[in-house]
Amino acid sequence: MTKHGLAGRKAWAVVALAAALAAACGQQGTGTDAAGEAVAAAPITEAADIGLMPRPQSLVLGQGQFVIDAKTPVSASGDAAAVAERFVDYMAMAGLKGLQVTTGDGAGAGIRFELDPEAQDASGEAYTLHASPDGIRISAAAPAGLFRGATTLWQLATVQGRDFQVPAVEIEDAPRFGWRGFMLDSARHFQELDEIKKILDAMALQKLNTFHWHLTDDQGWRIEIKRYPKLVEVGSCRIPAGDGGVDPATGEARPYCGFYTQDQVREIVAYAAERHITVVPELDIPGHATAAIAAYPELGSIDEKLVPLSEWGVFPNLFNTEEETMVFLENVLTEMVELFPGQYVHIGGDEAVKDQWEASARIQVHMREVGASDEMAMQGLMVERLEKFLAGHGKRLIGWDEILEAELPDEATVMSWRGTEGGLEAARKGHDVVMTPSSVLYLDYLQTESPDEPPGRPATNTIDEIYAFEPVPADLEADKHAHILGLQANLWTEHTRFDTRVEHHLFPRLAAVAETGWTPADGKDWQDFRQRLPMQLHRYDLIGIRYAKTPFQVLAVADDDRAAGTAEVSLENPLAYEVRYTTDGSAPTGESPLYQAPVEVTLPAEVKAAAFFDGRPLAEPQAFGFDAASLLSRTDEHLGVCPDAGRLLLRLEDDGPADGERAIFNVTIFYPCWQWNQADLGGIDRVDVRLGRIPYYFQLAHDEPNRKFEPAETANGELTVHGGGCEGTLLAKVPMPAATEADGFVTVAADLPADVAGRQDLCIRVTGDTRPTMWVVDRVDLVPAAP
């Protein structure tokens, strides 16, 4: 049920008398900006200057401050001592080492953690924090609440430039929702334990409390099950597509492997528990089962031998419905429930394409025997059986919203990912719900339009869009609100090979998720959040989080007049922080011109720009060069999507080299097509298109008929260039080569008609169905006629 501690308190109350503010700011510290220069800390004049995230329910500024140093007493007793130890660990991560926890009454000035069994707290996570020049006291009814207070104190002590100075403050706080979650997909790409622990620490410091661990899928089985050793012996390894699956030294197949032993799982569960985070494991059934079926073929629905997949998408491979398979699933869950002491176990249930069941005579016979009217009803019977099994082990079943398509046991919980509609339906039927709509809370979606974004899935989920999400639908009846347990962000890792990319996708967007889950709806304010966000970046730096820089960089677009040799340069920061720039080659500072309108430059020109907050750059300044050649060139990131391309734009990696960074391409996989909108073709003789070729590693299930391609006239297809859009005039058609050059690319020159002129949309495609590979555009150059 939804938890509402400290009911009726005014959200984010701030009292700040002039005398109190003067005292609170009487001792300023120093810090450094993004360029490493020393800067003086601005005085604290309001609560936003502290930068707490998530925003607490109630905060009152007082008079003075308390400075923490290595000699500050830290006291606690009983179960509070463990919380105090975690606080000391976090202070060490922030650079203050030497704090010691002592047990006892904690007399005298210092920091005291206290459990108060008399406190009224329905959530188990409420706390109060009192800081004055005489000391700091945190109290709560339960250890979880005490820990949340410890993370608030850590944030108070880590305001940039204040050298562990904690302002005098009174905070009373509790969460809005009981489920504030994040899901990590370790099946598609594997993360080592240290990376998962780093994520858990960052979650804890933002008061997130649920870690959903996606451990099984078509591409890999990641958890040791002792009764079935082949699950990891076979199911934890796949051969990546293309050059990524070839050992460059030997030419032999190079598997991608990884799994967690049961001892490692216990280590993660214990680490999370120390931070009052519950781990929810996922065993995906009946779909996303290829890796398991590859290990034990008798579990499958067809006779074809399978291997863990190196492709992405939706696949038809399902567990069969037979008794032996259900026993297998129960045996697996028997071992899992011993490893995960939390209340919930996730059983997936999503994207289970039923083609194999429909085509299987034995499954059809079995369905009739058990009284299943159709394939979805059969899946419902599997869910019902597993729900009863889990209930017998003291657990609750949760699954993706597809499980609503059959009769669902009353105690089952629904995770609504295909929008909020599934959650709305589930709540009205009396089921508990976690809201996690892909359109807002999928963090593998890109977060800006920057060409520096790593590979990811279609469209963008920006931090302001995430912050604006409301988990309780406006049209949900009031008596059903308690069924909305909270919200969860998900990171699927098909395109996330490196830990740096994991962290880029998560941060700072996870801070917006955390605040939506913790702070009362009427206490949220985007502009205030945006003001506090730079202080949170400093805290990420302290704990080694490699957060995304793209939201804090500058985007530049030039509208050129080649004939006049000039250009208008437009600058923008995705989060609307102020932009300052220079045109003389120097790095911009807080005193540089403030961008307010497009900047007129004479070619060639260099513009340097950075986004600033409170006089400090939020990321390293960027240099943008403009000359005649650069204005005649567009990389794939700066090309548009063709109107008929279906908008399923992916940012994809090349398949090689086997290690290290790879080229990245923007491509619409249903209809590969690129468009240079309003290209100036005056005086242009030809179009040079640089292309790469990557594996077409997607299975589209029932979406396959939507995959389109233009018919080819020659063996390898043709590069076509149309003017006036894809339905416009054919300007050029050039046969494609059979292969790329040695570097993996090829440049195809397309001569234009002599009379082409003016600005028009150039549509660029390669004809023919080129699977199992696909051509992808890397760059397009307009080549002027020779003088």
Q: Do 165 and 186 have their domain in common?
A: no
| Residue where a domain terminates, one of 173, 193, 214 | 173
What is the per-residue pLDDT for 5? 31
**Residue among 353, 213, 352, 220 nearest 269 (CA):** 213
What is the per-residue pLDDT for 409? 95
Q: Do 602 and 619 have their domain in common?
A: yes
- Decide if 496 is inside a domain: yes
| Residue where a domain terminates, one of 173, 192, 222 | 173
745-751 β-sheet, strand order: 633-635, 773-784, 684-695, 745-751
The answer to whether 456 and 505 have CB atoms below 8 angstroms apart is: yes
Q: Classify each residue of 585-597 as buried b or exposed e, where b means 16 or more C-beta atoms within 10 Å of its C-beta.
A: eeebbbebeebee
pLDDT tens column, 232-275: 999 999 999 999 999 999 999 999 999 999 999 999 999 999 99
Q: Which residues contact 657 (CB under 8 A, 6 or more apart)?
A: 243, 248
| Residue where a domain terminates, one of 550, 576, 606 | 550
Q: What CATH number did the domain enclosing 459 receive?
A: 3.20.20.80
Q: What is the dihedral of CA 447, 449, 454, 459, to 10 degrees?
A: 60
What is the per-residue pLDDT for 659? 86
Distance separating alpha carbons of residues 10 and 499, to the nearest angstrom: 40
What is the per-residue pLDDT for 221? 98
- Decide if 68 is inside a domain: yes
**Which residues of the chain are under the pLDDT cut of 50?**
1-43, 45
What is the per-residue pLDDT for 40? 42
- Decide if 10 is inside a domain: no
- Known catalytic residue at 322: no
Alpha helices in 27-115 (DSSP H): 80-93
Count of structural domains within the chain: 4
Q: What CATH number did the domain enclosing 114 receive?
A: 3.30.379.10
Q: Do 533 and 571 have their domain in common?
A: no
pLDDT tens column, 113-135: 999 988 889 899 999 999 999 99
The answer to whether 361 and 320 have CB atoms below 8 angstroms apart is: no
Strand residues in 372-530 grouped as ranges (E): 396-400, 413-416, 433-435, 445-446, 457-460, 484-491
- Give the count of alpha carbons within 13 A of 744, CB side only: 19
Using alpha carbons, list the distances in angstroms from residue 561 to 558, 566, 582, 634: 10, 5, 21, 16
Radius of gyration of the chain (CA): 29
Choosing from 351, 411, 425, 568, which is the catalytic residue? Answer: 351
- Decide if 223 is inside a domain: yes
Q: Do 297 and 414 have their domain in common?
A: yes
The answer to whether 544 and 195 have CB atoms below 8 angstroms apart is: no
Q: What CATH number did the domain enclosing 676 receive?
A: 2.60.120.260
For residue 493, give both structure tokens.
Answer: 């890792």
Q: Do 615 and 646 have their domain in common?
A: no
Distance separating alpha carbons of residues 333 and 292, to the nearest angstrom: 14
Q: Do 504 and 545 have their domain in common?
A: yes
Q: Is 36 exposed, middle or buried (CB count within 10 Å of its CB: 0-12, 13-18, 19+)?
A: exposed
Distance separating alpha carbons of residues 780 and 726, to the nearest angstrom: 16
Q: Do 360 and 259 have their domain in common?
A: yes
What is the per-residue pLDDT for 523? 95
The answer to whether 351 and 700 have CB atoms below 8 angstroms apart is: no
Distance separating alpha carbons of residues 739 and 505, to the nearest angstrom: 34
Q: How many helices (H) and strands (E) does the chain have?
A: 17, 43
- Decide if 9 is inside a domain: no
Q: Do 347 and 483 have their domain in common?
A: yes
What is the per-residue pLDDT for 21? 28
- Decide if 726 is inside a domain: yes
**Residue among 505, 506, 434, 444 nearest 471 (CA):** 434
- Decide if 441 is inside a domain: yes
Q: Do 186 and 225 have their domain in common?
A: yes
For residue 419, give both structure tokens.
Answer: 């929008």
- Decide if 8 is inside a domain: no
Q: What is the DSSP letter of 4?
A: -
CB atoms within 10 A of CB 532: 22
Q: Do 223 and 152 have their domain in common?
A: no
Distance separating alpha carbons of residues 583 and 447, to the nearest angstrom: 28
Q: Do 640 and 503 have their domain in common?
A: no
For 633, the enclosing helix (H) or strand (E) is strand 633-635
| Residue 421 structural domain | 179-550
CA diameter of the chain: 90
**3-class DSSP state of 344:** strand
Q: Do 112 and 124 have their domain in common?
A: yes
For 66, the enclosing helix (H) or strand (E) is strand 58-67
What is the per-residue pLDDT for 647? 63
What is the per-residue pLDDT for 643? 86
The 3-state secondary structure of 364-381 reads HHHHHHHCCCCHHHHHHH
